[in-house]
Amino acid sequence: MIEKDELLSIVPHRGRMLLLSRIKEYNTTEGILQGEYDITTGCLFYDPAAEGVPAWAGFEIIAQGISALSGLRDREMGRQPKFGFILSVSSMWIGIPFIKAGSTVEIKIKEIGRMDSVFAFEGEIFHERKKILSGKITAMDVDEEQVQILKKEHNTIG
């Protein structure tokens, strides 16, 4: 089990943008990860009127699971974790409109393809053992030099 303090060493997300609470299981060779996220009012996506987080934000929860898996791979290889960018979200299915604050959701991720620094994943989110979201995400790892170029050219990355 990997808890929040250790998570901070493998993912770049901080503060309200951190959407993982713990990693329960992972296997970097097989490209799988299971984790959890505790939905709170402090979440960046929290909507007070709905008293929860819009379920569509689950794609970012899945993406952070992908980031954690990538960070774990990098750590195993003795490298600093890289930044990643979402290239596409597809086949997204959302079964509920909001996830209520006080809930814990389970995240399941499986790598389904890889070419150089581009990875494809299937992800699912469960609440009370019921699937509430699924989809595919394609992401790309980038090195620090590429991040600095993007920061300079677009001033959009913190």
The whole-model pTM stands at 0.87
Q: Which residue has the tokens 């791979």?
A: 73
Q: Which residue has the tokens 């990997």?
A: 2
H-helix segments, the chain: 4-7, 58-76, 144-154
Question: By the 8 A CB rule, do 53 and 43 touch?
Answer: yes
Distance CA 133, CA 126 (A): 7
Q: Delimit the domains of the chain by residue range.
A: 2-154
- How much is the average pLDDT of 91-120? 96
CATH of 2-154, one of 1.20.1070.10, 3.30.2130.10, 3.10.129.10, 3.40.50.150: 3.10.129.10
Q: Range with the lowest mean pLDDT among 10-14, 105-109, 120-124?
A: 10-14
Q: What contacts 76, CB < 8 A, 6 or more positions away?
A: 28
What is the pLDDT confidence band of residue 81, given thresholds at 50, 70 and 90? confident
- How much is the average pLDDT of 21-37? 97
Is pLDDT at 157 greater than 70 in this prediction?
A: no
- How much is the average pLDDT of 116-141? 95
Q: Which residue has the tokens 């170029």?
A: 149
Q: Give the total residue count for the chain.
A: 158
